[in-house]
Amino acid sequence: QVQLQQSGPGLVKPSQTLSLTCDISGDSVSSNSAAWNWIRQSPSRGLEWLGRTYYRSRWYSEYASSVNGRIAINPDTSKNQFSLQLNSVTPGDTAVYYCARGRFYFDKWGQGALVTVSS
């Protein structure tokens, strides 16, 4: 069965870069039918989709306007994983971050990781 396993630091200093990785088992990051997403959840913002990457003869990435310009989501085919990088973080980026599979809706989720932005 498909499983997503997240990893990354739980504490990031303001102005630095938040980096998380999601390992995929039971599916392929290069699948021609799946998409691989990052979603976050906080009391102030609720559930917020951040972006996705997917392969359809070539790689695509799409990002939410709220974080566009600060975000990169990249696949790593050698490790069958994908990553999130969010630059210039502020305390407002403190949230539980989830990776998830799905092009339109999200049928598999990682376990979630609390990332706190604080000095």
Residue of the chain from 30, 47, 79, 88 that contacts another protein (CB under 8 A): 47
Residue 24 near residue 35, CB atoms below 8 Å: no
Which stretch, 9-17, 22-30, 68-76, 102-110, contacts another protein (CB under 8 A)?
102-110
Which stretch, 21-29, 42-50, 75-83, 87-95, contacts another protein (CB under 8 A)?
42-50
Q: Cβ 1 to another protein, closest distance in Å?
A: 10
d(CA 30, CA 57): 9
Residue 118 near residue 11, CB atoms below 8 Å: yes
d(CA 55, CA 61): 9
Q: Cβ 54 to another protein, closest distance in Å?
A: 13
List the structure tokens of 28: 């392929």
d(CA 13, CA 69): 19
Cβ-based nearer residue to another protein, 16 or 48: 48
Binding footprint of another protein on the chain (CB under 8 A) = 37, 39, 46-49, 64, 98, 100, 104-107, 109-112
